[in-house]
């Protein structure tokens, strides 16, 4: 079962499932919202517990597709896992029972549609990237703006007056990003003297 946010009564779903019982065990996922009111999808921990609990020859009963998985790819993936475990599944809505030939036929159709949708999405993304590249539009996540004194900070790093870690803390930047942008501007660190290397090594050990 899958209970929506603030829903505690399992009666509505139990009515649909009762005709197929009794059951050895019932697993219930709980949808919830965080403090800001944002909907959090269930972690599907109960479904994973079910996966560990089931044995060959078992049958799983679920109200609907959305009570079982978060998306179509996840649906097909988990159905394949059930098949590998030699376990059948019955969805009440829409009627799909993998114990029957009709149910297995519908499942093959669902797999084909999901595969088709994934292939179409992949081709569309590739076409979009190709068009953006031809038009000279930037790809990927836009770069965060650099602070006005970034060149001065790079100079201080190159002259070994500041460490890259200190600059990254000031700019809220990753080390790899700092190195990449500093070198793009033509800044490279001076070689450290033996005394400086000793001090840096001692500082790391501390």
Per-residue model confidence as pLDDT tens digits over 52-94:
899 999 999 998 887 888 777 788 888 888 989 999 999 988 8
In angstroms, the CA 170 to CA 136 distance is 32
- Hunting for tokens 């803390």 — which residue is that? 169
Predicted model pTM: 0.52
Three-state secondary-structure class, residue 83:
helix
If asked whether residues 105 and 152 sit together in one domain, one would say no
List the domain range (segments joined by +) for residue 23. 2-120
Q: What is the CATH number of the domain that holds 63?
A: 3.40.50.1390
Report how many domains make up the chain.
Answer: 2
- Identify whether 200 is part of a domain: no
- Identify whether 202 is part of a domain: no
pLDDT at 197: 47
Instruction: Compute the average pLDDT of residues 176-184.
Output: 85
């Amino acid at each position: 079962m899958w209970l929506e946010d603030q829903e505690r009564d399992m009666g509505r779903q139990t009515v649909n499932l009762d005709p197929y019982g009794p059951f050895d065990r019932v697993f219930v996922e709980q949808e919830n919202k965080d403090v800001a009111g944002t909907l959090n999808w269930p972690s599907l921990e109960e479904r994973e517990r079910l996966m560990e609990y089931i044995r060959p020859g078992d049958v799983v009963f679920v109200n609907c597709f959305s009570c079982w998985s978060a998306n179509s790819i996840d649906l097909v993936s988990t159905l394949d896992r059930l098949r590998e475990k030699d376990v059948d599944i019955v969805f009440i809505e829409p009627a799909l029972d993998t114990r029957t030939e009709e149910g297995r036929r519908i499942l093959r159709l669902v797999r084909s549609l999901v595969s088709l949708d994934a292939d179409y999405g992949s081709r569309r993304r590739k076409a979009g990237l190709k068009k953006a590249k031809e038009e000279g539009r930037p790809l990927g996540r836009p770069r965060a703006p650099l602070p006005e004194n970034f060149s001065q900070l790079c100079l201080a790093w190159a002259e070994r007056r500041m460490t890259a870690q200190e600059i990254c803390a000031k700019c809220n930047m990753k080390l790899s990003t700092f190195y990449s942008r500093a070198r793009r501007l033509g800044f490279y660190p001076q070689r450290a003297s033996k005394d400086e290397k000793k001090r840096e090594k001692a500082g790391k050990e501390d």
